[in-house]
Amino acid sequence: MINAIEFDKNDPCPVYLLRGGCAYLKDGVIGALKSLIPEDMTEVDYLRFDDEAKIPELLAAADTFSFLGGKKLIVYKAPSLSKLAEADKASLLAYCKNPCDGTILVIDDEGQIFKFLEKHAEIIHCEPPNEAFVQRWLKNLLTAKGCGIESSALDTLIRYAGADMTRLNIEAAKLAAFADGREIRFADVAACVVPETEMQVFELTDSLSRRDSKNSVRIYNALLDRGEAPAFLLSIITNQFRRILHTMLSDLTDAELAVFFKIKEYPIVLARRTSKNFTKLKIKKIVDQLTLSEYLFKSGAVGEKAALEMAFAYLLCA
């Protein structure tokens, strides 16, 4: 088992299992392996299969030698929930025990349905790094681009991007060009980076947990001003409070809860942080009220805007 951050493409293994949900780290591993293939051969010796691909089709490609006898890279995005047929399991296991010479098979196994291959594959952990690592990585990235960044701007940038390293890489390039060699400030991030709706909802729940009504109303109005549908906002606000409740009641780790909710780990980390400002009873009452508001809208008893306003009014007074 190795961490994607420490991955070395030299002397590659014939079969890899990628575990975790960080797309940036996965792309880094795949990109490193792809560099082993001559550029003029990538159209022939680099093949990607999505989660709807059939296992026989995948193995047929993997079991075929490179056209010029070099490396061949096969990347398969495994389904996250589907169960494999026993015949497919047997075929995969047989291949991994005796892989084709020169072929590198990479299985993106985020759902961990290929555990039966673990004895015959190298496992690469691509879990989203913790916040401290992301901060260091982002600082180094901006330094390489000739820019520093003040602390408040760094924290805001990570929060706005949901700690998604792929998006942070793009936003860092944009901010570095905007700053043109000077230190990046909070105002630069506010001007150049659009926060994900989900992150703004986290800020809303965080403000509500601290009983900061003024900031809560500001964020609420900003979400509406962006043109977000009231029904959509009600749904993600409800989901956020459900996550908070789950972090308080569940014995699952942040990573396990992220898999359960089919989201990145960072929102779970934020939900757990916010949960410290509530009691279990308070959160249960909030979730019940939000669920009721959703029901009234979906049943046609009230309009979507009225349902959202009803829910937000309750949250302000909760």
Domain ranges of the chain: 2-125, 131-192, 197-317
| 37 pLDDT higher than 80 | yes
Confidence of residue 314 (pLDDT cuts 50, 70, 90): very high
User: Does domain 131-192 match CATH 3.30.70.270?
Assistant: no
Strands (E), the chain: 2-3, 15-19, 46-49, 72-77, 103-108, 122-125
Confidence of residue 306 (pLDDT cuts 50, 70, 90): very high
What 3 state SS string does 13-60 have? Answer: CCEEEEECCCHHHHHHHHHHHHCCCCHHHHHHHEEEECCCCCHHHHHH
% of the chain exceeding 70 in pLDDT: 99
Q: Helix (H, G, I), strand (E, B), or coil: what is residue 117? A: helix
| 81 pLDDT higher than 70 | no
| 223 pLDDT higher than 70 | yes
Rounded to an integer, the average pLDDT of 205-230 is: 86
| 41 pLDDT higher than 90 | no
The most confident of 87-96, 249-258, 270-279, by mean pLDDT: 87-96
* Domain at 197-317: CATH architecture: Up-down Bundle (1.20)
Rounded to an integer, the average pLDDT of 256-279 is: 82
The CATH fold of domain 2-125? Rossmann fold (3.40.50)
Rounded to an integer, the average pLDDT of 237-247 is: 91
Q: Are the C-beta atoms of residues 164 and 264 closer than 8 Å to each other? A: yes
Q: Are the C-beta atoms of residues 106 and 76 closer than 8 Å to each other? A: yes
Give pLDDT tens digits for 91-127: 999 999 999 999 999 999 888 889 999 999 999 999 8
